[in-house]
Amino acid sequence: MTETRESIDLIVRADTILTVDEAGTVITAGAIAINDGVIVGIGDEPQISARYTATEVLDGAGCSALPGWVNTHAHLAMNLFRGATDDVTLETFLDRLIGAERRVLSAETVAIGARAAMAESLLGGTTTALDMYWYPQTSRAVARELGFRLINGPTLMGDVDPEGNDFDAMLVQAERILTENRADAPNDNLWLMPHSAYTLGSEQLRRVSELAARFGARIHTHCAESSGEIALVAAQHDARPLAVLDEAGLVTDTTVLAHAVHLTDDEIATIARIGATVAHAPISNLKIACGIARVPDLLAAGASVALGTDGAASTGSLDMMQTVRMAALLHKGVSQDPTLINAERAVRLGTADGARSLGLTDVGTLAVGMRADIQVVHTDTLASAPTPDPWSRIVYGASASDVRHTVSDGRVVVRDRALLTADEPTILRELAAASLLAHSAAHEG
């Protein structure tokens, strides 16, 4: 007697499945069963097909399936300024950008930029991003529209923001936003985004810390990105960035420190002891000539490290595939040790480790009970074949353009390279029009 198969929403098939679980399990000729956004089965394709019948099946012939990338440091709508501030130092970049943002940014322009950034991300296999940018509620609405897992919160700086708010007004607005986010999704992990120790005074940082404590909010901030930042913070606070942030109570085991390029041995030990995460953005650090973060030393000390792209204005793109590859290659070359950050570890940095750093316990790996955030990457290509190592195929061979399907929270958002949740030509047209104004503003004065 034939058993009745269980009806579910979706089955994803792939020649290879990289689960990124603790054991590094790789499944060949596999399938993933998904219902109500949750993985309910994973294993050999014949077994999954015998047990489940699905409303939709994604074919992954010639493909590898793995968790969606988790981008732990981004300024998504900064893509409006892509190319407007190239080939300059961080300090020149910020000087041009901050003034231009005040002249150009609005809820409307941020929506345009965020929509394009999330579309770019989903098409490249990124399903989650920690986003530090203005008009965060606008970006949250866009994320719901596109089916993107956005982690964000109010950004604070010591000067006037694009809405004309001074710091006190920003703090009031931040409390309102945190209250809204907590009411909207009580289990949502709340975030505050104090920009840095060089754009905020000690008292302002302390007040941000107090607000975070009241809401139980996590912290995302820039730290020790460039030698110029080190000098600015020393002049302003007579201390180094990590010490200033720590003194204010902003460095905890739920803090994500962007960049952390210029760290001392003691600072590395402090980050590891506290349990904060460093969001490593190697391409941005190279492009703005900030230096190379001491990632091998951080990992050796037991510190939490994840990967981020930074904003497209500073890094050129939001391509996590490039970021993962660069993280694997860069530190081998600097150390002259090819064993550092092997391909599997690089994938982990871009998936499971990133999810854990954001407090997300139900994404970042492919296992029963996890939310279904999945990218299906074409790896049977001239660029990736014929290596038998499935991790190497992704890290050293594949490109973002090889992502065939993307599933976000169980929702198919990209199928056969086509974005399903928004019209890509319209997004591109709107981005191009808004960017004309942004580029003009970036070069005023």
Strands 277-280 and 304-307: parallel
Measured at the alpha carbon of residue 100, what is the angle toward residues 94 and 104, in degrees to the nearest 5? 145
- CATH 2.30.40.10: which residues of the chain? 6-67+363-419
Question: Whole-angstrom Cα distance, residue 414 to residue 406?
Answer: 5
Domain range 6-67+363-419, CATH architecture: Roll (2.30)
Question: Whole-angstrom Cα distance, residue 88 to residue 404?
Answer: 35
Mapping DSSP onto H, E and C, the string for 146-175 reads: HCCEEEECCEECCCCCCCCCCHHHHHHHHH
Domain 69-357: give its CATH code.
3.20.20.140
Q: Are 407 and 34 in contact (CB under 8 A)?
A: yes
Nearest to 30 by CA among 69, 68, 60: 60
Nearest to 289 by CA among 445, 93, 432: 93
The kind and range of the H/E element at 228 are helix 227-237
Measured at the alpha carbon of residue 109, what is the angle toward residues 439 and 201, in degrees to the nearest 5? 80
Question: Whole-angstrom Cα distance, residue 214 to residue 336?
Answer: 47
CA distances 177 to 173, 306, 308, 345, 359, Å, are 6, 26, 24, 36, 20
Give rounded-to-5 percent helix, strand, coil for the chain.
Answer: 45, 25, 35
Q: Are 241 and 230 in contact (CB under 8 A)?
A: yes
Q: Are 385 and 379 in contact (CB under 8 A)?
A: yes
Question: Whole-angstrom Cα distance, residue 408 to residue 253?
Answer: 27
What is the full per-residue pLDDT of the chain (445 aa) written as tens digits? 456 899 999 999 999 999 999 999 999 999 999 999 999 999 999 999 999 999 999 999 999 999 999 999 999 999 998 987 778 877 787 777 777 888 889 999 999 999 999 999 999 999 999 999 999 999 999 999 999 999 999 999 998 899 999 999 999 999 999 999 998 876 779 999 999 999 999 999 999 999 999 999 999 999 999 999 999 999 999 999 999 999 999 999 999 999 999 999 999 999 999 999 999 999 999 999 999 999 999 999 999 999 999 999 888 999 999 999 999 999 999 989 999 999 999 999 999 999 999 999 999 999 999 999 999 999 999 999 888 999 999 999 999 999 999 999 999 999 999 999 999 999 999 999 998 877 777 777 4
Nearest to 33 by CA among 47, 15, 18: 47
ω into 386 cis (within 30 of 0): yes
Question: What phi and psi, each to the nearest 5 degrees, are found at residue 201?
Answer: -80, 170
| CB-count burial class (<10 Å; 0-12, 13-18, 19+) for 336 | exposed
Provide the pLDDT for residue 2: 54
CA distances 155 to 127, 173, 256, 443, Å, are 22, 10, 14, 24
Q: Compute how many other C-beta atoms are within 10 angstroms of the C-beta atom of residue 23.
A: 7
- CATH 3.20.20.140: which residues of the chain? 69-357
Beta-bridge partners for 199:
none
